[in-house]
Amino acid sequence: MFNIVHKEMLSSNIVLFDVEAPLVAKNALPGQFLIVRADERGERIPLTICDNDPVKGTVTLVIQTVGAETQRMADKLNEGDCFADIAGPLGNPSELTDMDEEELKSKKILFIAGGLGTAPVYAQLKWLAGKGVMADCIQGARTKDILILVDEMKAVCGNLYLATDDGSEGIHGNVTTALQKLWDEGKRYDLCIVIGPMIMMKFACILTKELGIRTIVSMNTIMVDGTGMCGACRLLVDGKVRFACVDGPEFDGHLVDFDSALQRARLYATQEGRLLLKYREGESHHGGCGVCKD
């Protein structure tokens, strides 16, 4: 069992947990992820790692309540409770971790963080800051209230450019609008690392390809075991079948087939929607609409 030592709501639908998982905390590197299960009947959920403290033996998880399972985690798990399972760190560390400090310092790196993607981007920026490298970052969200970890982000990056779709904070527009703006102002980068919703990564990659910036994305596919067994996380990269859990999760964004990945991400959408409805409405939902027979 994995104890929750701290819980914090970052916005109305995003929650942060610090959880005791000493081996994971000791070995986690930026770019890696976890599989988490709330309790004995729970689903295995892949989550990115926002932070890890090898001394305290804790990892920081940030969860957005997108389905019944994540909603349940946010509602039911509190400080002093436990996650039944935390398995990781999974996936390959970021290619940045293979570079020496000199190489890192020679690169102009731009991160693009969309929504919840801010959490894993923070892990990478913090790791770089520890090496004395302050990369730039565009952090985007729909609106001001769901821009998360802004102070923490500021502390570990060079320039932090905020962008909101509704213009309530920072640049008015999405992350690609912001990138185009920076480019037009004469900013240049050698490497772009984009983490966020798949649709955002797709459009960011279309722009960075035009601009000729090498781009890495982190693919948040459907997963079950996360260790290289089930094959649920498969996607096409450069026309070949790849598995996000053991070949990724980071891939060359210009080679990822986003359209088929976006399509596969919808696989359980209907079932997830029904489960969420059932969870939210509980006994009051009797399926009178005729859509949900269960």
Partner 1 sequence: MAADMMKKIPVREQEASLRAHNFKEVCLGYNKEEAENEAARCLNCKKPGCVEGCPVSIDIPGFISRIKEDDIEGAYKVLSSASALPAVCGRVCPQETQCEGRCIRGIKGEAVSIGKLERYAADRARELGLKPVRENEENGIRVAVIGSGPAGLTCAGDLARMGYDVTVYEALHKAGGVLVYGIPEFRLPKEEVVEKEIENVKALGVRIITDCIIGRTMTVDDLMDREGYEAVFIGTGAGLPRFMGIPGEQALGVFSANEYLTRTNLMQAYDIDSRTPIMVGRSAVVVGGGNVAMDAARCALRLGSDVHIVYRRSEAELPARAEEVHHAKEEGIIFDLLTNPVEIHTDENGWVSGITCIRMELGEPDASGRRSPVEIPGSEFRIDCDMVIMALGTSPNPLIKQTTKGLEVNRRGGIIISEDDAQTSRDGVFAGGDAVTGAATVILAMGAGKAAARGIDEYLKNKHKND
Is the peptide bond between 249 and the residue preceding it cis, with omega within 30 degrees of 0? yes
CA distance 145 to 198: 21
Cβ at position 261, least distance to partner 1 in Å: 8
83/111 with CB nearer partner 1: 83
Residue 84 CA, distance from chain mean position? 21
d(CA 127, CA 54): 13
For residue 257, the minimal CB distance to partner 1 (Å) is 8
Handedness of CA 83, 20, 23, 45 (dihedral sign): positive
Do residues 185 and 155 make contact, with C-beta atoms less than 8 angstroms apart? no
Q: Which residue number, 29 or 134, has a Cβ lying nearer to partner 1?
A: 29
- Shortest Å, Cβ 21 to partner 1: 9
Tell me the closest approach of the beta carbon of residue 91 to partner 1, in angstroms. 8
Provide, rounded to whole angstroms, the least separation between the CB of residue 2 and partner 1.
Answer: 8
Outline where 185-288 has alpha helix (H): 198-211, 244-247, 258-265, 269-281
Closest distance between partner 1 and the C-beta of residue 165, in Å?
27
- Phi/psi at 251 (5° precision): -135, 165
Residue 135 or 232: which CB sits closer to partner 1?
232
Q: If we measure between CA atoms, which residue out of 16, 114, 6 comes closest to residue 65?
A: 16
Burial of 188 (0-12, 13-18, 19+ CB in 10 A): exposed
Tell me whether residue 202 or residue 234 sits nearer to partner 1 (CB atom).
Answer: 234
Q: Which residues pair with 52 in a beta bridge?
A: 59
Q: How far is the CB of 249 from partner 1 (least distance, A)?
A: 13
* 3-state secondary structure at position 224: coil
CA distances from 56 to 18, 30, 51, 168, 227 (A): 10, 18, 12, 37, 26
- Closer Cβ to partner 1, 47 or 147, answer by number: 47
Which is nearest to 50 in space by CA: 42, 58, 62? 62
Where do contacts with partner 1 occur on this chain (CB under 8 A)? 23-24, 27, 32, 37, 41-44, 68-69, 72, 84-90, 224-225, 227-232, 234-236, 241, 243, 246, 257, 260, 263-264, 266-268, 271-272, 275, 294
Report the nearest approach of partner 1 to the CB of residue 153 (Å). 27
Pairing of strands 214-218, 191-195: parallel
Phi, psi angles (nearest 5°) of residue 101? -60, -35
Nearer to partner 1, 149 or 276 (CB): 276
Q: Cα separation of 174 and 138, whole Å?
A: 10
Residue number with CB closer to partner 1 (129 or 230): 230
Based on CB atoms, which residue is closest to partner 1, 94 or 164? 94
